[in-house]
Structure 1
Amino acid sequence: MSSRLLKAALFVSALSMLLRVSDTLCAVENVSGAEYYTTIAPNCNTWARRFVSTGDSSRLIAHFRLGQLAANNFCKIYEGSDDQGKLAGTLEGGGLSFPVIVESSSAYISCVTNLTTETVGFDLQPFTLCGEDVEDIPYNLLSPMFPSNYPNYAGCVWRFQMNSSRTLLFQFSTFNTQSAYDFLYFKNEQGNVDKFVGSRGSFDYTVTATNLTVMFVSDYSGSRTGFNATVEVNFNPKKWTSARTLICRLKNAFCVEIQPSVECRTENLIIRVTVDEQTTLDYELGDTLYIALDREIPLSRLNDSCKVTGSNPVFTFDIDQCECVFKNENGTVSVSFLIWRFLAPSPAVIQRDVQNKLNVTCLLDAELLLSSSKIHTKIGSEEISAKKTGTFDVALNLFSNHYFTESLPGKVTVPNYIFAEVKLDEISASNGDFIVQLETCWATRSGNSNSLPSYQVVQSGCVAPLSGSESANAKTLIRNYESNFATFKLMSFVWTNFTDAEQFIYIHCDVTVCHNSTGQCPGQSCSGKKRRSVEDHGRNQRLSAGPVHIIQGTS
């Protein structure tokens, strides 16, 4: 046999052996166990597995723990034992893929890999479902059992649903998951996927979406403390490139940079839309102009002071009456408003008008702003001054347990308790010089602390009288007038004459921080005797927290 024929025979033999190995690696294989992890062979054109769970879970999660498929590759995940079952989802190639939930204890995995040269780690595991549908923002995103370690085999899904596209800001104060094994995924409606893993400390993440799905997946061991993030709509005045921005600086009750069209104050703030701004908004005399962060908000939900007509385009309102965004930087607080136009009724069938907007920003001195009773925040964190002590942070936070360690989720079922704590953040608990005093606390259905209906919790430093047939433990003042924090608990309830979708609770408190170095802070007396005035010993500040969506309990 010639050397050329010998080489050809050896090549055919080697190729045949390679194909037999590839067929063995890539052919359908039956596997079982509590969890299945494998690497998809790089020399497979197609790859398939039939998995049956031996655990107790009736759900599975499929995702790529390592690497990603090449473009035009994919893995289809079916419920049951073959590709005739219900398609649970597809792990796409060409980028990060989002996990697929299989509502079954068995799954069939069919992949087209087109002889990709990248090894991909495929994981199929049981999980315990957690998370919720999120309808209200701001929101606190927490890993399960935070600040304790999250459980193994977690599968948490949070679905953020907005009326229109929003840019959400996730501000992670901490992020610590097991590297290479436990992942936090994000996916918007366009299918764009991001993934975070490992120890990252604190960081910010923004994503634009109308519908956003967040999923946390942990494996069978090695859990960590997880993550804690506040979620809010990201508002950056600089992004409104088509809007004209007017700025007025306020210090010591007057404008430093005076503009005739804007008079910045906390009460009776005035914005005059001038002829120049009429070009920006492109409105006519019959149009309605309104102040709101969301162009699509129903006008009926706005305070009348936040709506004017094009024939008299002058807004006069208190700073808490119209929607705005606060930002505090180095003692200066920017308060930003967006002015939109609402078109007058027209017989036209269609229109092609561009919706322009005007951004008005007031730059306010923080001390002046915080001394005003017109300032409230949805997440209760403010600066407050106690006489002769300077400035520090005081916060109102809501919890779901009496240890005040588990942050309250976005929803509470009646009659579960809401636990509230007002605390000085930067002062040691052993420092007896600062006393937090809850003067008045109450609940409202909206974020406006002056709105009706309202429900009194604390009055004159004591538990408010019970109403109607309330039980004696409906509200309890746990700690007040004793140290640098105060606490109370409130049994959740629903508002009468409102639908389920309108059931929200906001908590508001008027708080005094008293400097007690000379023992001059008045003590608490709830025995019916008149309590001494605290006006000379501290400054009163209003804090707010919420919303909490209230769910009617069922029997």
Structure 2
Amino acid sequence: MELFRCLVGLVVVAGLARDGSAQHYWPLQKNQLPAQQQPLPLPQPAAPSDKCQVDQANRIQCGSADSTADLCENLNCCFDEHQCFYGKAVTVQCTRDGQFVVVVARDATLPNIDVESVSLLETNDPSCSPVDITSSFAIFQFPATACGTTFQEEEGYVVYENHMSSSYEVGVGPRGSITRDSHFELLFQCRYSDTAVEALVMEVIAVPPPVPVAAAGLLRVELRLGNGQCLSKGCVEEDAAYTSFYNPSDYPITKVLREPVYVEVNIMARSDSNLILNMEHCWATASPNPQSMPQWDLLVNGCPYHDDRYLTTVVPVDASSGLQYPTHYKRFIVKMFTFVDQSTFAPQRDTVFIHCATEVCYPSSTDSCEQQCHRQRRAAARRASSSQRDLVSSGKVILTEPRPSAANTKSKQ
């Protein structure tokens, strides 16, 4: 599988700050922010409980060392009675002397952002690179007139606007291409007037919202998705997921990139304990038609598609599962992805349909019906009937956007 790195936007959020001094703050160091920032007071959205759960070693100081709790809150940062620091979000600030300050947290979205891939539009100018990158944050500081910033006048404000982006990785297969990395775009502004300085998110372009999953399979074989959750200490997520399943009334079902999709295929209404269900081939498409392109393999001869960086996980189903006929079931876990254009590698399809070509097999003296992943082919088994070899498909699984930090998400003002 070939891997490519492609540019995409990054979900970020806005803060608000004002600086009365004429200082320049290059370079911005860890545990240090432009000194003496005086923020404009704005009501703050409710913060998620974990936004400020930043390890002491990873904290980057926000505001001056003597910042008060109120000042820290107005800067959209976190305060713990000893220090004002950036939380697990993305914060945009503007200074009086015409500087953007942007701090990007790895944990700002799910899946997490690769902070080393974050960049501005003007990537060829070394001064537009991050002034510091840690394992948890990327820190940018640059003049409002540089790094591809555009300029306009609007209703008493001088407005500077820029665009921040991150890269994503594309896996290229023989019949389609996918990505499991976040892909978003952000436009943000610094707005200056005689009396105020504002930082503002103008537009966030994210993945469209989602729809369902499910499906009655043909010829008494069905494919369904597990939705059970671990609710007790010591619970195994893989086991709990298959204790309950999505119903038609649950649609639409939403998933984010890399989130597990728990798939179960089973023989319906059969009580013959000798029957063994096997997966010949499982794959995904962007439309309900199993023959449509693009496609992405999930299982080949019942085994994980080896050219997928995030291998499909086959979940063993045996007597410990509590099922009356364990051999009537197959389970596997797929990490959610989205299809991308084969030529441009731009994310194109957010809808995924899962298909499996199944075989119901009777063991014999010459064929145990067991699927072994080191075998490329196995002898044909004597089947229970011609009706027990067929294709089953899921309903729609549509990608939803990663969950950004709510404390820093602002609507257009």
Select the structure that is richer in strand. 1
TM-score normalised by the chain length of structure 2? 0.35
Task: Name which one, 1 or 2, has greater alpha-carbon Rg.
Answer: 1
Q: Which has the higher contact order (CA 8 A, sep 6+)?
A: 2
TM-score normalised by the chain length of structure 1? 0.27
